[in-house]
Amino acid sequence: MIIAFLTFKSGLDWVFAWPTWLFMAAAGVAFWFLPRNTKMAAGADWVNAGGDTIYTYELVEIGTSGTPGSWELILKDQRGNVDRGNIADYQQNPLLWDLVFNGIRHSVAAGATIDPETYRVLKLDEYPNPPRSRRGDIGV
């Protein structure tokens, strides 16, 4: 729109004006750093953070990657579905995070693979640890 206006007003002379390019570069940088909304939804036993639908009570692997302040949660369920989402995005909605976190706790208790770093990042040691079992959900 701006380009069409400038071209209509003064032809292509605007191409050689450095303030125009400075403005365009600043606008590009500003839009790059604008927050991007991640659409997330969760039910009693599933979560969808823009990728696959993950069944949180059927997790087989739970992991994290990243650095403090920008941890990415990686969830993989029994069906092979994998979802990656920023932990801060999950935690922005406390009700959604409760559903996801409860599923993670259940899966860890049922024997899901979780590395020590992920265990620490999710602060799972701040909650009472139920006995771990290798049984599935059948008969629980």
pLDDT at 35: 66
Q: Give the rounded distance of the alpha carbon of 81 from its chain centre.
A: 15
Per DSSP, which regions of the chain are E strands? 41-42, 46-48, 53-55, 59-65, 72-77, 82-86, 113-114
* Whole-prediction pTM: 0.65
Tokens of 62: 């739970």
Q: Give, for all 140 residues of the chain, the pLDDT tens digit.
A: 777 777 777 777 767 778 878 888 888 888 777 766 667 888 888 998 877 899 999 999 999 998 887 899 999 999 999 988 889 888 888 999 999 999 999 999 899 999 889 999 998 876 655 555 555 555 54
pLDDT at 113: 92
pLDDT at 79: 93
pLDDT at 21: 83
Q: Give the rounded distance of the alpha carbon of 8 from its chain centre.
A: 44
Tell me the pLDDT tens digit for each residue of 35-57.
666 678 888 889 988 778 999 99
pLDDT at 102: 92
| Domain ranges, ordered by start, for the chain | 2-33, 41-126
Instruction: Indicate the burial class of 20 (C-beta count within 10 angstroms; 0-12, 13-18, 19 or more).
Output: middle
Nearest-angstrom CA–CA distance, 12 and 96: 52
